[in-house]
């Protein structure tokens, strides 16, 4: 029988008198590396609920649900952490770069799958004429902040900024009255705003 090599004997002795390399999770907590990709989470103060994260999610783990009633609406985004593949596309393509991030939390074991979610809910801006969803309030404010003074070149952004300052508000149009140039100062979807522009050029 061949005599073992000195290096192998040294490794055996070190293993015999050293602690095991494995961690004692779940009996003891562990701290993942800083760039560890764990469960995704929405950050409400940074998220504008634009829905970009849901569009790029390859696992379709993010739901976007709009609820509209009586001219008002809310948008709810839900990321199902038990469906997530932790690819990081949502964080990479987030419009604000801070609305959704992958955390260091990696514990997904649960008896109730409804707890494995992260949600955020935002107010919607609705077209005053046809009731179509335009965007969320936070998204319009974010665009206005990025544009700075140039935001006043767009009527929708101007109206939002003026409303935030308490200088103006969206006024309801009298029932039965057709669209006219006065409706420019209101939240309209692109299709209805096109109707206003055509009215100004060609008349009713």
Q: Can you give the CATH number for the domain in which 50 is found? A: 3.30.70.3270
Nearest CA among 132, 84, 76 for reference residue 105: 84
The pLDDT, as a whole number, for residue 175 is: 62
70, 120: one domain: yes
Range of the domain at 101: 33-126
Give this prediction's pTM: 0.76
Whole-number Å distance between alpha carbons of 155 and 38: 42
Spell out the residues 6+ positions from residue 19 whose beta carbon is closer than 8 angstroms to its own.
none
The pLDDT, as a whole number, for residue 21 is: 74
What SS3 class is residue 26? coil
Residue 111 in domain? yes
What SS3 class is residue 136? strand
Q: Are 124 and 66 in contact (CB under 8 A)?
A: yes
The single residue listed with the structure tokens 């949502």 is: 90
Q: What is the dihedral of CA 50, 45, 77, 59, to 10 degrees?
A: 80
119, 132: one domain: no
115, 140: one domain: no
CB atoms within 10 A of CB 164: 12
In order along the chain (204 residues), what is the average pLDDT of each group of 10 residues?
70 81 80 88 94 95 92 92 92 95 85 87 88 91 91 82 71 59 73 76 56
The pLDDT, as a whole number, for residue 1 is: 47
97 Rama sector, left if φ>0, alpha if ψ -120 to 50, beta otherwise = left
């Amino acid at each position: 029988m061949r005599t073992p090599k000195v290096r192998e004997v040294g490794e055996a002795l070190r293993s015999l008198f050293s602690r095991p390399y494995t961690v004692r999770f779940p009996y003891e907590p562990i701290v993942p590396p800083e760039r560890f990709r764990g469960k995704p989470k929405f950050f409400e103060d940074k998220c504008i609920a634009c829905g970009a994260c849901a569009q790029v999610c390859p696992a379709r783990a993010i739901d976007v649900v709009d609820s509209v009633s009586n001219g008002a609406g809310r948008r709810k985004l839900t990321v199902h952490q038990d469906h997530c593949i932790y690819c990081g596309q949502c964080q990479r393509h987030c419009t604000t770069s801070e609305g959704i991030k992958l955390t260091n939390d990696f514990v997904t074991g649960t008896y109730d799958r409804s707890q494995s979610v992260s949600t955020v809910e935002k107010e919607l801006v609705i077209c005053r004429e046809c009731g179509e969803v335009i965007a969320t309030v936070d998204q319009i404010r974010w665009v206005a902040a990025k544009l700075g003074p140039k935001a006043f070149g767009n009527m929708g952004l101007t109206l939002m900024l003026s409303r935030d300052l308490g200088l103006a508000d969206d006024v309801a149009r009298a029932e039965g009255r057709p669209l006219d140039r006065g409706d420019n100062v209101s939240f309209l979807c692109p299709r209805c705003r096109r109707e206003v522009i055509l009215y100004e050029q060609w008349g009713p």
